[in-house]
């Protein structure tokens, strides 16, 4: 039987381990989580609301429980069970909220448009923005892979240049979309402290919409998003796919804000035209402003990102080690920053300096062995990663426009880089006829010569492949 002191010690160790894997995100979410008790294999936690609970369960709980199981010696099926409670008033959250800006109501005025003074106390807070203080424009490293998105985001925040409305930021996981969203909010609040900003994920928007329907509070919901909103920031719009009622509500919200010339910034892991189960009228509105993409950063940008992160976290890092990290972690910025934090944590625990020998040793333990020769499977994997598809979808008979295009790109790259015969490629892509492969290669060749967006896709995938060969 463990004493209370032992339990608290193990809990704190598990929390620090989980924090080290993604410090900024951890502190943002665990400021809304409270540890209540760990007793007889049951971990009791309280979340501020159901949305926070579900997010932490999906993104943090597996690592946290694995570490606790190791510390307590309870592996496998006999591991820890979790019991959740919901309470909007947490007495002792795991982390203190980094930034919680409650936007004050505007000063009294005789103009009839001022509504905030008459809002009933029971109404859910609509004008509270929780921002990560490190996610600012000054901390965002700009390079060729993200300079358009950065410039467009800065303009949307009033930093100069033409403002596009809506601004649609597309890019893979961990490349900086959320950083830019927070930076926009920071910049707007610097210039207009009373600006009414709503920043939510598509999942949260959906949950609020469902709750408003269930409790007959649609008027409050629409006032929050259409009237009492000067700037709407919506993350991960792809999660609205297939949710017809939510899409309908967002469509009207979009129109109301756009007609009032209020900025709308949306992010997604796909381009608007690649969003599946999304109505055409919404897709057309997303493309009516500016679509700015963020690609995987090149080596020089990755080095700058590592050095900036080290500076912000107070980690002493030599240039040689920064280059070494950037060469070995190429997939996305979040993984790159996570590798740095893990390295710093291990250095602190062992007392070893972060030099090249130590870094190579730790990277070798974490990284899987890489093959020297590129194959058809490597190119298929790179294409799937770029277009956010599974390998099964790529090789399937599905003729959906986005899947068919990704398949044609993969065939083209295999032909160009590996010099495979058309029959060989046909067999590698689901036993297709060689004439299908010939047609795909020719089509992509033609599009590459005249379509800048297709050329951008190909260059991004080729950068992925080149990075994997380093």
Between 76 and 205, the more confident residue is 205
Helix, strand, coil percent content, the chain, rounded in steps of 5? 55, 10, 35
- Torsion on CA atoms 385, 388, 393, 394, rounded to nearest 10: -40
- Torsion on CA atoms 431, 432, 435, 441, rounded to nearest 10: -100
Between 356 and 384, the more confident residue is 384
Nearest to 127 by CA among 28, 182, 49, 193: 193
Does residue 104 have a pLDDT over 50? no
Does residue 359 have a pLDDT over 90? no
The CB density around residue 37, as the number of other CB atoms within 10 Å, is 13
Quote the pLDDT of residue 370: 47
Does residue 203 have a pLDDT over 70? yes
Q: How far apart are CA 374 and CA 418, in angstroms?
A: 8
Quote the pLDDT of residue 132: 83
Quote the pLDDT of residue 469: 63
Cα angle vertex 296, ends 166, 468, to 5°? 160
- Both tokens assigned to 88: 């909007």
Quote the pLDDT of residue 449: 81
Quote the pLDDT of residue 470: 59
pLDDT digits (tens, 9 = 90+) for 392-426: 889 988 888 889 999 999 999 998 888 788 888 88
Does residue 98 have a pLDDT over 70? no
Q: Return the exposure string of 236-249: e unless at least 16 CB atoms fall within 10 Å of the residue's CB, then b.
A: bbbbbeebeebbeb
Query: What's the rounded mean pLDDT across residues 338-363?
Result: 84
Quote the pLDDT of residue 121: 36
Between 104 and 352, the more confident residue is 352
pLDDT digits (tens, 9 = 90+) for 56-76: 887 788 888 888 888 877 554
Does residue 250 have a pLDDT over 70? yes
The CA distances from residue 110 to 29, 115, 285, in Å, are 40, 11, 36
Domains within the chain, CATH numbers bracketed: 4-86 (3.30.300.180), 124-294 (3.40.50.300), 299-366 (1.10.8.60), 376-469 (1.10.1750.10)
Which helix (H) or strand (E) segment holds residue 280: the answer is helix 280-286
Q: How far apart are CA 129 and CA 428, in angstroms?
A: 50
Nearest to 268 by CA among 252, 248, 253, 282: 282
Between 338 and 184, the more confident residue is 184
226 phi, psi to nearest 5 deg: -110, -40
Q: How far apart are CA 432 and CA 423, in angstroms?
A: 8
234 phi, psi to nearest 5 deg: -120, 115
Average pLDDT, the chain: 82
pLDDT digits (tens, 9 = 90+) for 284-328: 999 888 888 888 888 888 888 889 888 888 888 888 888 888 888
Question: Is residue 306 within 8 Å of residue 319, measured between CB atoms?
Answer: no
Quote the pLDDT of residue 53: 84
Could you tell me the maximum CA-CA distance found in the chain, to the nearest angstrom? Answer: 77
Query: What's the rounded mean pLDDT across residues 29-44?
Result: 86
Quote the pLDDT of residue 167: 94
pLDDT band (50, 70, 90) for residue 365: confident
- Both tokens assigned to 279: 């109505």
Query: What's the rounded mean pLDDT across residues 121-147?
Result: 71
41 phi, psi to nearest 5 deg: 75, 10
pLDDT digits (tens, 9 = 90+) for 6-20: 778 888 888 888 887
Q: How far apart are CA 92 and CA 231, in angstroms?
A: 32
Q: How far apart are CA 355 and CA 389, in angstroms?
A: 38
Question: Which range, of 92-101, 107-116, 383-392, averages the lowest pLDDT?
Answer: 107-116
Q: What is the DSSP letter of 368?
A: P
Quote the pLDDT of residue 254: 94
Q: What is the DSSP letter of 331?
A: S
Quote the pLDDT of residue 129: 56
Question: Is residue 391 within 8 Å of residue 381, measured between CB atoms?
Answer: yes
Does residue 2 have a pLDDT over 80? no
Does residue 367 have a pLDDT over 70? no
Query: What's the rounded mean pLDDT across residues 222-238?
Result: 91
Using a CB cutoff of 8 Å and minimum separation of 24, what contacts does 89-93 make?
Answer: 90/32, 90/33, 90/34, 90/46, 90/48, 91/34, 92/34, 92/35, 93/30, 93/31, 93/32, 93/33, 93/34
Contacts for 108 with CB less than 8 Å, ≥ 6 apart: 114, 117
Does residue 339 have a pLDDT over 80? yes
- Both tokens assigned to 329: 């972690």
The CB density around residue 375, as the number of other CB atoms within 10 Å, is 13
In a 3-state reduction of DSSP, which class is residue 201?
A: strand
The CA distances from residue 348 to 19, 49, 340, 341, 352, in Å, are 15, 35, 12, 10, 7
Tell me the β-bridge partners of 268. 170
Does residue 145 have a pLDDT over 60? yes
Write down the pTM of the prediction.
0.54
Nearest to 79 by CA among 32, 41, 44: 41
169 phi, psi to nearest 5 deg: -105, 120
Question: Is residue 61 within 8 Å of residue 17, measured between CB atoms?
Answer: no
- Both tokens assigned to 452: 């800048």
Does residue 44 have a pLDDT over 60? yes
Which residue carries 């893990």 as its tokens? 342
């Amino acid at each position: 039987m463990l004493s209370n002191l032992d339990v608290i010690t193990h809990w704190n160790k598990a929390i620090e381990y989980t924090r080290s894997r993604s410090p900024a995100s951890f502190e943002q979410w665990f400021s809304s989580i409270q540890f209540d008790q760990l007793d007889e294999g049951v971990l009791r936690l309280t979340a501020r609301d159901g949305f926070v609970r579900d997010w932490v369960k999906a993104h943090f709980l597996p690592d946290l429980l694995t570490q606790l199981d190791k510390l307590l010696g309870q592996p496998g099926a006999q591991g820890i069970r979790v019991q959740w409670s919901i309470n909007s008033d947490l007495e002792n959250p795991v982390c203190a909220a980094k930034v919680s800006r409650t936007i004050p109501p505007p000063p009294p005025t005789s103009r009839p448009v001022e509504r905030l003074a008459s809002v009933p106390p029971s109404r859910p807070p609509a004008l509270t923005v929780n921002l990560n203080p490190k996610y600012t424009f000054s901390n965002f490293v700009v390079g060729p892979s993200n300079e358009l998105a950065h410039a467009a985001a800065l303009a949307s925040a009033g930093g100069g240049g033409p403002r596009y409305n809506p601004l649609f930021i597309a890019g893979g996981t961990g490349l900086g979309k959320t950083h830019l969203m927070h930076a926009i909010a920071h910049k707007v609040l610097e210039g207009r402290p009373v600006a009414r900003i709503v920043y939510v994920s598509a999942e949260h928007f959906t949950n609020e919409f469902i709750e408003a329907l269930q409790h007959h509070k649609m008027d409050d919901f629409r006032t929050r998003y259409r009237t009492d909103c000067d700037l709407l920031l919506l993350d991960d719009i792809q999660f609205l796919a297939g949710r017809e009622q939510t899409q309908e509500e967002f469509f009207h919200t979009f129109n109301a804000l756009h007609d009032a010339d209020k900025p709308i910034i949306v992010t997604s892991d796909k381009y608007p035209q690649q969003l599946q189960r999304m109505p055409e009228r919404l897709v057309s509105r997303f493309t009516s402003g500016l679509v700015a993409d963020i690609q995987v950063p090149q080596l020089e940008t990755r080095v700058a990102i590592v050095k900036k992160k080290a500076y912000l976290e107070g980690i002493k890092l030599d240039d040689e080690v920064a280059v070494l990290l950037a060469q070995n972690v190429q997939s996305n910025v979040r993984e790159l920053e996570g590798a740095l934090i893990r390295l710093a944590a291990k250095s602190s625990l062992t007392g070893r300096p972060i030099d090249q020998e130590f870094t190579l040793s730790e990277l070798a333990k974490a990284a899987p062995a890489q093959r020297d020769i590129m194959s058809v499977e490597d190119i298929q994997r790179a294409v799937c990663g770029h277009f956010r598809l599974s390998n099964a979808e790529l090789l399937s008979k599905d003729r959906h426009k986005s899947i068919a295009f990704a398949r044609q790109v993969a065939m083209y790259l295999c032909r160009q880089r590996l010099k495979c015969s058309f029959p060989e490629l046909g067999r590698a892509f689901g036993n297709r006829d060689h004439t299908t492969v010939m047609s795909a290669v020719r089509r992509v060749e033609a599009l590459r010569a005249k379509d800048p967006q297709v050329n951008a896709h190909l260059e991004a995938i080729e950068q992925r492949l080149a990075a994997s060969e380093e």
